[in-house]
Amino acid sequence: MTACPTGIAHTYMAAEKLTQAAEALGHDIKVETQGSIGAENELTDNDVSRADGIIVAADKDVDLSRFVGKRLLVVGVAEGIHHPERLIERVMAAPVHEGDGGGMGADGGGVGSRGGPGVLGPGLGAGRGTVYKALMNGVSYMIPFVVVGGLLIAVSLALGGHPRPDGGLVIPDGTFWKHVNDIGVIGFTLMVPILSGYIAYAIGDRPALVPGMIGGWIANTGALYDSKSGAGFIGAIVTGFLAGYLVLWIKRIRVPRFVRPIMPIIVIPVVATSVLGLFFIYVLGRPIAWVFEHLTGWLDGLTGASAALLGVLLGLMIAFDMGGPVNKTAFLFGAGLVSKNPEIMGMCAAAIPVPPLGQGLATLLRRGMFSEQERETGLAALFMGFFGITEGAIPFAAARPARVIPANMLGGAVAGAIAGLASVGDSVPHGGPIVAVLGAVSGVAMFFVAIGVGMVATALTTVTLMAVGRGERAGSAEGGSGAGAVAVPVARTGGVGVAAPGAADVLSGYLTARTVRLDLAAVRKEAAIRELAEVLAGTGQVRDVDALVTAALAREELGTTGLGEEIAIPHAKTDAVTAPVVGFARSAEGIEWGALDGSKARLIFMIAVPEALAGDEHLRILALLARKLLDPGFRERLLDAEGEGAVLGVLAEVR
């Protein structure tokens, strides 16, 4: 099962990665997704009973009660994206879920929830993971209310508003659009108690829901404790956690048997709601409201360089982990202030689409630097960026983190700074061009300028860092020459590029059409290893190209992998890959590889195997290749083969 706070991208990316990993490892798998539209591909009772183990990759509250008696592994959704093979191996040794608060280990190895379906339970304590999951659970339930409310308000103002003398728009009372606006305001009003309620629910289960929601309403109603604006989302977060842990504490109190049936439906909700509500009104309300009011006042006073600096900070956070905890923290900050200071959300909204749009643009600007699969992913990233889904850039960041993440952060910071300087406002807690199209943005022109400049900055930085990392290339690659020119492989009908899908697989499917390059552009060993690593990344089995290159070069330092006879087999044992993968490339001129016979390598195979499979499988692949490459006729056929199909036909002889 996979689930993330927003249920838009991470949920489905984790499901896809787990499915791919299971197929590669020879396991049957069924993945239920708890997305924003609800559960899909649901696990039936029969599915659960037949399963050897259950993996839950989730950053929100999910129902675990149906998995009692099964081996259960609960981790964050990011683990499902980045380490799917490892999860499949770990679940086979995971503890059996008893449903009584077993607790999550330090590595997220198991979970228990006393008395209900919450993913968090009393066994978890108050660790950072618990706090984050509870907070994200509240955010996931809050987002639909603020998006619907914000869009209805934006549409009603755009279509039914009339200019006011002092600026802004006003909707006449009694009109159709006034009623639409009122419905939107209700959505906004519910935002704070929903956030508080579902934070509490994630910690204390159903008995904590009512205290959390009522506590959140009290936090947002300043008149109850003599405050002008209330405690806002800060107060909601406080009441959510207080309600959750208060309910957990009450649950531990021993009561007579005859009282137990009414504890969860009467005693706990009534006591917790009363205690929390009165405590907030008399003790916490005013101090938190004071902090919130001064924070809002300080943000209102930001202009010029100060606003730009805040935009830079928010943009960096939004782009850093693309939907992860740092991104969500910045988003929550903007969303919580959207009704009082929409300029803060405007900075976030401008930065949100920059990573996917920038990476998509990079694949269009320098197509030869990217594999066919990456170019297809780039088009999808452009689409996701338009709709404000930052996670569209994750595949690129996973393959080249040292290059893509800094580029994303630069673009996000630029977009946030421009939006801050221009006082761009966003009345909806969402980002991307779509919110401007729907009329939720003020300062539309500068909003698009901010996104455009940030997108270009990300794209140019990405291709520049990739070019620098490629090292020396042949002086020209289809039209680039001269001092300082960086040559990149360009797809040609005759041979350069990744071979077309659909040809034969080799070495148990580890070497495929996707991992063949017929005309290597590199002229030095280090650059050739990087170029082959980037070819392997096109399979989706490489989570970190830089780490793979580092591991391969470290192996070269132990002794050359140049075998002589114009052959080199660089290899690496590293968790930078998720499954064994083998690449092949030919070099027309040959590359100096330190072979004992002095020959330059023209036939180059690259092998990458995860640490867990680094024993027999690694040696088996090496043995198969080495034995076949002893045949001079095989080497000659491999050098003379014209076109991808012919090369793959020769490689199919490796058995």
pLDDT tens column, 131-189:
877 887 887 788 788 778 777 877 787 788 777 665 456 788 889 999 998 998 888 78
pLDDT tens column, 383-432:
888 988 887 887 788 667 788 999 999 999 999 999 999 999 987 778 88
Q: Name the token pair of 116.
A: 């209900």
Say which residue the tokens 């917790």 belong to: 272
Instruction: Count other C-beta atoms under 10 Å from residue 646's C-beta.
Output: 15
List residues with catalytic annotation. 4, 571
Q: How many CA atoms does the CB half-sphere of 553 hold within 13 Å?
A: 15
pLDDT at 292 over 80: no
Cβ 74 vs Cβ 104: under 8 Å? yes
Return phi, psi of residue 33, to 5°.
-105, 130
Using CA atoms, how far apart are residues 485 and 483, in angstroms rounded to an integer?
6
Using CA atoms, how far apart are residues 182 and 171, in angstroms rounded to an integer?
10
Using CA atoms, how far apart are residues 507 and 184, in angstroms rounded to an integer?
59
Nearest to 321 by CA among 434, 417, 406, 431: 406
**CA angle 573-578-583, nearest 5°?**
65
Q: For the chain, first and last CA: distance in Å?
A: 38
pLDDT at 102 over 60: no
Nearest to 272 by CA among 254, 235, 245, 297: 245
pLDDT tens column, 29-43:
999 988 756 678 888
Top-level class of domain 2-124: alpha beta
**CA angle 342-291-232, nearest 5°?**
50
Say which residue the tokens 């956690």 belong to: 241
Say which residue the tokens 């606003």 belong to: 307
- Percent with pLDDT over 90 in the chain: 24
pLDDT at 604 over 90: yes
What predicted TM-score, i.e. pTM, was given to this entire model? 0.52
Using CA atoms, how far apart are residues 559 and 563, in angstroms rounded to an integer?
11
pLDDT at 204 over 80: yes
Question: What's the sign of the alpha-carbon dihedral 441, 446, 447, 448?
Answer: positive
pLDDT at 249 over 70: yes
pLDDT tens column, 432-467:
898 888 777 889 999 999 999 999 999 999 999 988
Q: What angle in degrees, to the nearest 10, is found between the helix axes of 209-220 and 268-279?
A: 20
CATH number of the 513-651 domain: 3.40.930.10
Question: What's the sign of the alpha-carbon dihedral 210, 213, 217, 220?
Answer: positive
pLDDT tens column, 471-516:
533 343 333 333 333 333 333 333 333 333 334 456 777 888 888 8
Q: Name the token pair of 219.
A: 């936090």
pLDDT at 21 over 60: yes
Amino acid letter, 39: A
**Domains of the chain: which residue ranges?**
2-124, 128-300, 304-469, 513-651
Q: Sort strands 516-517 and 33-35 into parallel, antiparallel or unpaired.
A: unpaired
